[in-house]
Amino acid sequence: MSESIRIIYAGTPDFAVAPLLALIDGGYDVVAVYTQPDRPAGRGREPRPSPVKQKALEHNIPVFQPESLKSEADQNALRELNPDLMIVTAYGLLLPKSVLDIPRLGCINVHASLLPRWRGAAPIQRAILAGDKQTGITIMQMDVGLDTGNMLAKQVCDIRSDDTGSSMHDRLMVMGAETLMTMLPDFIAGRILAEKQDDALATYASKLSKQEAEINWSLSAEQIHYSVRAFNAWPVAFTSWRYKNKLDVLRIWQSEVLGTSSNAAAGTVLNCGKEGIDVAAGKGVLRLLQVQPSGKKVMAAADFANAHDIEGQILGME
């Protein structure tokens, strides 16, 4: 068994499952799990427990799901658990100072960026959108600011040219758990020297929206390609196209930037072939490799082009 300290774990989505399992497998005493309330999901919009809640219940760990931690009653309930440490990963709720002060060792956070770059809700996707070559995991001591606390550990991860929001999510999820388990014994023993963040270098990773996933063809092919990669697998980049004299939605799952240029209007379908669909951008040409028409499965762009005569059409036009 690892050192007997009482840990509260707070997290909600899939990303937060790996650190929780690492703590359990490492023999740490996770006395309770905090997660967001069950939310409607699926076609039936039935309340669905978070991935973290499901995993906690599988391991018979008590689960708490307050709407917030601002009320005195919820704070007293947490205080009665007598925690030594609270570990937070993508919980989705802000912790007031009165909560941060409850555990003897405070609260630490597993964050999916190299702070102070990309503080906020969507650091993985924002790093890809910005064309960053590296990202990683930062574990920090939480304070009242948004991801502003002192840094306790960092692990760097290269962003490969074919990485998507989904692939980076999965790699960083594992890395987050590994980094946490590596630093935790030293943190508990007081052997880590915290590093202050340089606020002048901070950037903000705002929450993703479906609206921003609509492709602006006047951007460069490179920037559109970043969008396609970042928004895979949610909310998925999309554009409009004309089908039977009506506008329809075409989702773009995979693309590549060609080393060519075009004088055609941005959004013009230049060529359809077995390699894909070539579209003029504001600068350069983007080749669509995988697409998804409304109500259909993801398919090779070449197969879509074989079934629909879109050469010469301008995508994204009303």
CA 30 – CA 83 distance, rounded (Å): 9
Which residues are bridge partners to 10 per DSSP? 34, 88
Which residues are bridge partners to 170 per DSSP? none
Amino acid 3: pLDDT? 59
Amino acid 318: pLDDT? 66
Reduce the DSSP state of residue 45 to 3 states and report it. coil
Whether pTM exceeds 0.85: yes
The predicted-structure confidence for 177-220, as pLDDT tens digits, reads as follows: 999 999 999 999 999 999 999 999 999 999 999 999 999 999 99
The predicted-structure confidence for 59-83, as pLDDT tens digits, reads as follows: 999 999 999 999 999 999 999 999 9
Dihedral of CA atoms 13, 92, 191, 20 in degrees, nearest 10, equals -20
- Provide CATH 3.40.50.170 ranges for the chain: 6-205
CA 292 – CA 238 distance, rounded (Å): 9
CA distance readout (Å), 96 to 38, 142, 146: 22, 10, 11
CA 114 – CA 85 distance, rounded (Å): 23
Amino acid 226: pLDDT? 98
Amino acid 84: pLDDT? 98
For the domain made up of 211-307, the CATH class stated in words is: alpha beta
User: Which among 191, 186, 182, 187 is positioned nearest to 26, based on CA atoms?
Assistant: 182
Answer whether CATH 3.40.50.150 is correct for domain 6-205.
no
H/E stretch holding 157 reads strand 151-158
Give residue 226's identity as a one-letter amino acid code.
Y
Phi, psi for residue 13 in degrees, rounded to 5: -85, -175
The predicted-structure confidence for 148-187, as pLDDT tens digits, reads as follows: 999 999 999 999 999 999 999 999 999 999 999 999 999 9
- Provide CATH 3.10.25.10 ranges for the chain: 211-307
